[in-house]
Amino acid sequence: MTGDLLAGLMTASVEDLADGAVLLRGFAVAEAPALLAEITAIAEAAPFRHLITPGGFRMSVAMTNCGAVGWISDRRGYRYGADDPETGCPWPAMSPLFRDLAGRAAQAAGFSGFAPEACLINRYAPGARLTLHQDRDEGNLSHPIVSVSLGVPATFLFGGLDRKDKPRRFRVDHGDVAVWGGPSRLAFHGVDALKQGHHDLTGQLRYNLTFRKAL
Ligand code: MD6
Ligand code: FE
């Protein structure tokens, strides 16, 4: 009976976004303080910066990376690279804390054996947003993406495979983890402009970790 009760509580926190995409509510709440401490350490070596899109626009979201490769954008395009172009040094390593969390979240969503080598770290100040896009710079699209929300809540926009498909809106809170792959892997998605807010661990900011198998 307690087993059923536990199973009920656990499934209650899994929300379907679309075919192949789920939101694991609160999955990373316990690890969040350690994740944030690690983000601070990563940013000391590889500072947050506002990347320039190939079209010449400065992104409102500030970004850095950890892992064997990191995602970057500049006038030449989007790509993954082993070195931080700002410092010329390799991106900080991905810790077991990050890697294990990503693997467990993928597993919980039905994707086994997820071993990401890239973690993009996004930092949103009030007003920062991410326009609808597809994550398609990864060499292997058969793996899911695991996305961890920390700090101030945001509205996540989840569309279809066509840019014109009207996106659905989901609130993502501190500790929520989205996992998507399979038929949703190339779905258009974005984040609404961050509203003014406060979280005890991040102040007015939101952070997002997106783990990818990039190579
Ligand atoms: C964010 N996330 O939540 C931005 N991409 O700050 C993404 O762009 C994203 O959450 C692919 C899969 C999950 C994501
Ligand atoms: Fe994305």
Closest ligand 1 atom to the C-alpha of 149?
Answer: 3
Domain that holds residue 87: 3-212
Three-class DSSP category at 11 = helix
Dump pLDDT digits (tens) for 159-180.
Answer: 999 999 999 999 999 999 999 9
Question: Which phi and psi (to 5°) does residue 101 adopt?
Answer: -60, -45
- pTM of the predicted protein model: 0.94
> Residue 154 is inside which H or E element, if any?
strand 154-158
Q: How many folded domains does the chain comprise? A: 1
Rg (CA), the chain: 17
Could you tell me the CA-to-CA distances from 55 to 9, 51, 78, 136 in Å, in that order?
A: 46, 11, 11, 17
Q: How far apart are the CA of 31 and the centre of ligand 1, in A?
A: 19
Could you tell me the two tokens for 143?
């793996």
Q: pLDDT tens digits, residue range 21-31?
A: 999 999 999 99
| CATH number of 165's domain | 2.60.120.590
Please state the atom number of ligand 1 nearest to the C-alpha of residue 154. Answer: 3
